[in-house]
Chains A and B, each alone.
Chain A
Amino acid sequence: MTAVNEAGKAAALPRPKNLRDVTTPEGVPLRFELASRSDRVTALIIDLMIIAGVIFGLGLMMLVLAIMVGMSGWQAAFGLLAFFILRNFYFTYFELRWHGTTPGKRALRMRVIDRYGGRLRPESVFARNLMREVELFLPLSLAASANNVGAGNWAILFALVWASLFTLMPLFNKDVMRAGDIVGGTWVIKAPKGQLLPDMALATAAGIETADPGTPAYTFTREQLEVYGIYELQTLETVLRQQGITAEETRAEVCNRIRRKIDWQGREEVDPQRFLAAFYAALRAHLENRMLFGQRRESKHDRKV
């Protein structure tokens, strides 16, 4: 890719800090949005509640069994093993079977991906989930042991602080990686979605019924189209697609501002929706044409090329 294109890509969409590019094996970068910290915590709580629920259910079942047929070594062994498997392999199982999601992650539309663009490998999933041992269960068991050991309380407090360094790791890096993500080479991202909507440059989509298809409703001069750049174009697209009670008001406001800015000389009374749609179509045609010649104008602050 050329430098022009690289720079263009970066600014084509407003780029918050939580976007990451992953290059696919085809060499095309895909952009993902990192899952937020609060979503991660919520998903973890959901998963832990499911685990706790299953353990509770199993415990109840064993209790009923013990009352009905009496307790035996088999039952206790089964319970011990079930607890062990749930604690250590619940996350691993789901992330392997459900393409990098667990019930909690699925509920919050998140997913684990490989940081380097490859497929998510089983060993990554194992590594990232084994680390929960220090991140989650070590501080928990330390906190639990603080109550019954009297003498070593200071030592336990120290150990707790030390262990919570690992737990709190996602707070200290901008990729929201926990220790397991670092070791497994993974990111947790928001599951991509997106709907294909009608093209706003289309008359029908923009709601313009032209009585006379030969003449555009509004025409703009080249100077008027040079005022804005890509950022403004895409903001205008968002405004045009807006639905809701304040949408009309916003469009009228934006329409007035644009007319002032481009020094609109035509009719004084315009329908904001139609005017904006026409301006959008004209501006997009103009900017896309320029782009084909390698001239991307990112925003109105970009120097005129």
Chain B
Amino acid sequence: MAEVRLKSYEFRREREESWRELEALLARAESRGIQSLTPAELFRLPNLYRATISSLSVARSITLDRNVLLYLEGLAARAYFFVYGARGSFGVGVARFFGRQFPQAVRDARYNVLAAALAMFLGVAIGCLLTLSNTDWFYTFVSEGMSGGRSPTATTESLRAVLYDDGGGVLESLYLFATYLFTHNSQIGMLAFALGFALGVPVMLLMFYNGLLIGAFVALYASRGLTIEFVAWLSIHGTTELLAVILCGGAGLSLGSAFAFPGRHSRLDNLARRGRKAGMIAIGAVAMLLIAGLLEGFGRQLVQDPALRYLIGGAMLLLWLLYFTFAGRERADDRSE
């Protein structure tokens, strides 16, 4: 008969068993997770995968059996997902992220972070100067809901009270306050990152606008001689929070500049390369905002002494700067990864 002479059939007959074995392993791993495989089977998986990949490559040049080709394509792809799937334990991943990847990504995007910081400080300066020259500007920058009674018409006493008030007055609601601050700020931070996709222009505006807000408040408190106390109130959490927001903005800008100035890679490749790093920065910044939320929700209400507030805020800032400058430097050869 004709089929006996078919080389492609011989090829299939010799290898079919290992394909079937791989298929059975994969079916189990896909439905019940990779943990359901025994150590021996786990050890076997990469070998079977390589055998199948080589079968596929041979099959493409010797067989015309469409079913076999499609089957091998599918089988090799399914095995590929497991062999090159996400790896490692969650804990190790987190440690690696904060130990190395996050500070490295921040260092790599330092110019974008600086640009975002500049936009914000420019906002602070302009907001402060304009409001000092004419208090009407305050209403332009700060919406009524956001000011929460803190406006140029408020008395100095009530303004001072805000700085030393314990929020709602009930200590229990601090959990709620901290959570609210964290979720709200993180949402803004993530938005700042995502907006970077629009060439970064909205990011700059967002940073600038945030700066204006702060500047307006600084001016308001400065006009009542409360500058030192206000900055103390702001700095206890603000050094962490504003830094995180600036990092998100920097991540967004790095995304925008990847698109606008692709350099020697194609735009698409460049966006993918930088996008991943920018995403890391945004995730790290969310973790920072969690810390900032705790500082703001608890620390600010429990610590009332301006000097102590400065101390905590300054120490946090120093800590972050040291972390971003020195953390994860020792393995510089891994950076291209």
Contacts and interface: CB of A to CB of B under 8 A. Distances in A.
B is bound to A: yes
Interface of A: 5, 8-9, 12-13, 24-26, 28, 30-32, 72-74, 76-78, 80-81, 83-84, 88, 96, 99-100, 111, 113, 115-116, 118-124, 126-128, 130-135, 138, 162, 166, 179, 182-185, 191-197, 199-203, 210, 213, 216, 230, 233-234, 237-238, 241, 278, 281-282, 284-285, 287-288, 291-292
B31 to A, nearest CB: 11
B75 to A, nearest CB: 7
A238 B86 CA distance: 37
Contact of A202 (B9, B57, B271): B9
A5 B280 CA distance: 41
B279 A126 contact: yes
Given A84-B187, A132-B194, 7 more contacts: A8-B61, A116-B272, A118-B84, A126-B280, A184-B279, A237-B65, A281-B1
Contacts of B69: 12-13
B16 A196 contact: yes
B173 A179 contact: no
Interface in B17-60: 19-20, 23, 50, 53-54, 56-57, 60
A292 B283 CA distance: 53
Interface stretch (B149-157, B174-182, B300-308, B316-324): B174-182
Given A138-B191, A200-B65, A288-B8, A192 B78 contact: yes
A182 B101 contact: no
Given A5-B61, A238-B66, A193 B280 contact: no
Q: Which of A81, A199, A281 has the most CB of B within 10 A?
A: A199
B80 interface: yes
Contacts of A285: 2, 5-6
Contacts of B108: none
A24 B80 contact: yes
Closest 8 CB pairs of A and B: A127-B279, A185-B272, A183-B275, A194-B74, A192-B74, A77-B179, A84-B183, A134-B194
Contact of A123 (B57, B194, B280): B280
Contacts of A88: 186-187, 190
A282 B19 contact: no
Contacts of B283: 123, 126, 130
Contacts of A78: 179
A139 to B, nearest CB: 12
B12 A199 contact: yes
A184 B272 contact: yes
Contacts of B335: none
Contact of B276 (A124, A213, A282): A124
A202 B60 CA distance: 20
B159 to A, nearest CB: 26
Interface string B60-102: 1111111111110111111011101111000001000100010
B330 interface: no
A278 to B, nearest CB: 7
B2 A278 contact: yes
B273 interface: yes
A168 B43 CA distance: 44
Contact of B275 (A30, A184, A197): A184
B333 interface: no
A210 B1 contact: yes
A194 B81 contact: no
Contacts of B9: 199, 201-202
Contacts of B66: 13, 234, 237-238
Contacts of B23: 196
Contacts of A83: 183
Nearest to A197: B67
A80 B186 CA distance: 13
A68 B217 CA distance: 43
A284 B278 contact: no
A25 B56 contact: no
